[in-house]
């Protein structure tokens, strides 16, 4: 195993036609006939469990009933009024553990209603027809800064703009969208993130500024001075390290960086991929990185997780999908050292087990996988905003996340936060949208002089 193995990381493994097929829409949309058939399977439950399972509380029976009468505008209003990123969530939500997982038709003998596909059917009509569903209220004269153009920030900005406030969104990236633009598998979303954001910004009252980084050329103390309120939707931009020998070798990189490069690459035939790829982790990022490596032309892709499949944060559906795409999965193994001379040539693992108290321990049994590419996907962390010399603007961090109260206000008055940087029930796009929406409600109440927002 020596440095020459790194030459196996190359572009052009597959033809443009093969890549187009591999990265085509993984879940093609329903046509009208199939949408009507799917909608008619809904029981339109009173106190429907699918609504309770949706973090944004979309009235699912209502929008499905509207589809049956071809009232797509009404269906879209039901969806986007509760979740302004409902089009993206229809593509990326783990419906199998949320709304569809709670569907009363999901009995084992019967499939659940295709709620996600029907949500996409209704919302795609909006974007395909470029239909405006919402109008701004009269201008309030209040200005709000939103830092972070991911799902939480976009949701918050849209709700505040609808209420008549002027909003400026800042983000460190050159394009808005956050995770939706940079962190989700291409075959799930294609170019949809940009289309959805263009529609969202068309409401008016929202200005976008990219390549602005909090703590660098953007400071919290100045935002508090210049704006009437501030929302932080920072996401989790730090990446956990393995902390093992060989981590700095060429060919070892963070899976999130690999996915971001892929999502922004105009020609996938020019994107390098290894022949023997090993992905370490068990979440959605690990699955997306592994599957996309295979779709780019890697000869072998192996995903290794330190515990069993039941402990993976990726859902059972994502795990099964990865296997159908040719990804090999090894459970109960942890990396011990990365091997190579200048560039990665392999990685040594130790099998793991649980002791009587449930602690994870190494078994003392080792094995090695050949690899020219190692993608790390073992979790992300918050990079807390710096104070910029203003002691009153120090945000309290608790358990690695920004501490907020029930209305998403931070320890600094007038500064709210939401999404992954706050954490909650689940680290999902749909939960971040709900955080942004709820924070906007509280911010609007404060800006309007109404005190505490209603729940």
Q: Which domain holds residue 82?
A: 32-129
Residues 363 and 245 occupy one common structural domain: yes
pLDDT above 90 covers a percentage of the chain that reads 89
Residue 198: how many other CB atoms lie within 10 Å: 12
Residues 64 and 176 occupy one common structural domain: no
Residues 370 and 246 occupy one common structural domain: yes
Instruction: Check residue 337 and give its pLDDT.
Output: 98
Report the domain count for the chain. Answer: 3
Q: Domain boundary at 357, 379, 401, which?
A: 379
Q: Considering the domain boundaries, does residue 196 fall inside one?
A: yes
Instruction: Check residue 55 and give its pLDDT.
Output: 96
What does each C-alpha distance from 153 to 337, 410, 421, 447 come to in angstroms?
A: 39, 15, 11, 18
The owner of tokens 């008055």 is 413
**SS3 (DSSP) at 417:** strand
What does each C-alpha distance from 182 to 237, 304, 449 come to in angstroms?
A: 12, 23, 38
Q: Considering the domain boundaries, does residue 134 fall inside one?
A: no
Q: Considering the domain boundaries, does residue 137 fall inside one?
A: no
Q: Considering the domain boundaries, does residue 396 fall inside one?
A: yes
Residue 222 host element (H or E): helix 220-226
Q: What is the CATH number of the domain that holds 177?
A: 3.50.50.60
Instruction: Check residue 193 and give its pLDDT.
Output: 95
Q: Considering the domain boundaries, does residue 154 fall inside one?
A: yes
Residues 268 and 369 occupy one common structural domain: yes
What does each C-alpha distance from 195 to 124, 234, 337 come to in angstroms?
A: 10, 22, 43
Q: Domain boundary at 354, 379, 404, which?
A: 379
Residues 171 and 299 occupy one common structural domain: no
User: How far apart are the C-alpha atoms of 145 and 79, rounded to whole Å?
Assistant: 26
pLDDT tens digits, one per residue of 171-185: 999 999 999 999 999
Instruction: Check residue 426 and give its pLDDT.
Output: 76
**SS3 (DSSP) at 298:** coil
- Phi and psi at residue 10, in whole multiples of 5°? -145, 165
User: How far apart are the C-alpha atoms of 65 and 67, rounded to whole Å?
Assistant: 5
- Let me know if 309 is exposed, middle or buried by CB neighbors in 10 A (0-12, 13-18, 19+): middle
Q: Considering the domain boundaries, does residue 211 fall inside one?
A: yes
- What would you report as the CA-atom Rg of the chain, rounded to the nearest whole angstrom? 23
Q: Considering the domain boundaries, does residue 135 fall inside one?
A: no
pLDDT tens digits, one per residue of 155-175: 999 999 999 999 999 999 999
Instruction: Check residue 334 and give its pLDDT.
Output: 98
Q: Considering the domain boundaries, does residue 454 fall inside one?
A: no
Residues 117 and 152 occupy one common structural domain: no
Q: Please, what is the average pLDDT of the chain?
A: 94
User: How far apart are the C-alpha atoms of 396 and 409, rounded to whole Å?
Assistant: 11
User: How far apart are the C-alpha atoms of 409 and 414, rounded to whole Å?
Assistant: 7
Supply 87's token pair: 């089009």
Q: Are strands 276-280 and 300-304 parallel, antiparallel or unpaired?
A: parallel
Residue 6 pLDDT more than 70?
A: no
pLDDT tens digits, one per residue of 220-268: 999 999 999 999 999 999 999 999 999 999 999 999 999 999 999 999 9
pLDDT tens digits, one per residue of 406-454: 999 999 999 999 999 998 767 899 999 999 999 999 999 999 987 554 4
User: How far apart are the C-alpha atoms of 298 and 309, rounded to whole Å?
Assistant: 23
Residues 291 and 358 occupy one common structural domain: yes
Q: Domain boundary at 379, 401, 425, which?
A: 379
Mean pLDDT within 28-41: 97
Residue 75 pLDDT more than 50?
A: yes
User: How far apart are the C-alpha atoms of 280 and 272, rounded to whole Å?
Assistant: 19
- Out of 1-15, 126-140, 332-346, pick the least confident: 1-15
Please state the pTM of the whole predicted model.
0.94
Residues 282 and 318 occupy one common structural domain: yes
Residues 375 and 387 occupy one common structural domain: no
Instruction: Check residue 387 and give its pLDDT.
Output: 63
pLDDT tens digits, one per residue of 294-329: 999 999 999 999 999 999 999 999 999 999 999 999
- Let me know if 118 is exposed, middle or buried by CB neighbors in 10 A (0-12, 13-18, 19+): buried
Which residues, 6+ apart, have CB-to-CB distance to 66 below 8 Å?
72, 74, 75, 78, 122
Residues 251 and 375 occupy one common structural domain: yes
Supply 284's token pair: 């959605």
Residue 391 pLDDT more than 90?
A: no
HSE, CB side, 13 Å, CA atoms: give it for residue 331. 10
Q: What is the CATH number of the domain that holds 106?
A: 1.10.1060.10
Binned at pLDDT 50, 70 and 90, residue 3 comes out as very low
Residues 121 and 157 occupy one common structural domain: no
Instruction: Check residue 2 and give its pLDDT.
Output: 41
Residues 48 and 10 occupy one common structural domain: no
């Amino acid at each position: 195993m020596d440095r020459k193995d790194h030459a196996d990381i190359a572009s052009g493994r597959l033809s443009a036609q093969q890549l187009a097929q591999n990265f085509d829409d993984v879940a093609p949309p329903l046509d009208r006939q199939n949408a009507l058939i799917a909608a008619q399977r809904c029981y339109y439950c009173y106190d429907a469990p699918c609504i309770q399972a949706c973090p944004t509380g979309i009235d699912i029976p209502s929008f499905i009933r509207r589809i049956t009468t071809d009232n797509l505008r009404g269906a879209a209003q039901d969806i986007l009024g509760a979740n302004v990123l409902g089009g993206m969530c229809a593509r990326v939500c783990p419906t199998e553990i949320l709304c569809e997982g709670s569907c009363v038709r999901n009995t084992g003998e019967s499939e659940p209603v295709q709620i996600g596909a029907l949500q996409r059917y209704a919302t795609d009509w909006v974007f395909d027809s470029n239909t405006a569903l919402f109008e701004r209220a009269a201008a309030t004269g209040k200005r709000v800064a939103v830092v972070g153009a991911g799902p939480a920030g976009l949701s918050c900005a849209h709700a505040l703009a609808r209420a008549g406030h002027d909003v400026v969104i800042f983000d460190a990236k050159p394009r808005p969208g956050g995770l939706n633009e940079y962190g989700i598998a291409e075959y799930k979303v294609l170019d949809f993130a940009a289309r959805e954001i263009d529609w969202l910004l068309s409401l008016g009252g929202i200005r976008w500024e990219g390549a602005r980084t909090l703590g660098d050329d953007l400071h919290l103390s100045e935002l508090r001075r210049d704006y009437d309120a501030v929302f932080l939707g920072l996401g989790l931009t730090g990446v956990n390290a393995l902390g093992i020998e060989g981590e700095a070798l060429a060919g070892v990189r963070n899976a999130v960086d690999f996915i971001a490069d892929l999502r922004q690459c105009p020609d996938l035939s020019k994107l390098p991929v290894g022949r023997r790829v090993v992905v370490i982790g068990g979440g959605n990022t690990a699955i997306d990185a592994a599957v996309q490596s295979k779709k780019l032309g890697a000869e072998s892709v192996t995903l290794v997780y330190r515990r069993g499949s039941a402990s993976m944060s990726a859902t059972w559906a994502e795990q099964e999908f990865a296997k159908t795409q040719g990804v090999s999965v090894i459970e109960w193994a942890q990396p011990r050292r990365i091997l190579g001379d200048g560039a990665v040539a392999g990685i040594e693992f130790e099998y793991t087990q649980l002791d009587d108290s449930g602690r994870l321990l190494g078994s003392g049994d080792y094995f090695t996988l050949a690899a020219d590419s190692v993608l790390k996907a073992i979790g992300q962390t918050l990079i807390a905003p710096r104070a910029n010399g203003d002691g009153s603007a120090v945000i309290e961090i608790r358990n690695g996340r920004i501490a907020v109260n029930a209305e998403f206000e931070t320890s600094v008055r007038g500064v709210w936060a939401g999404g992954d940087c706050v954490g909650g029930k689940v680290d999902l796009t749909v939960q971040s949208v709900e955080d942004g929406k709820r924070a906007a409600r509280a911010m609007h109440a404060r800006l309007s002089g109404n005190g505490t927002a209603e729940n």
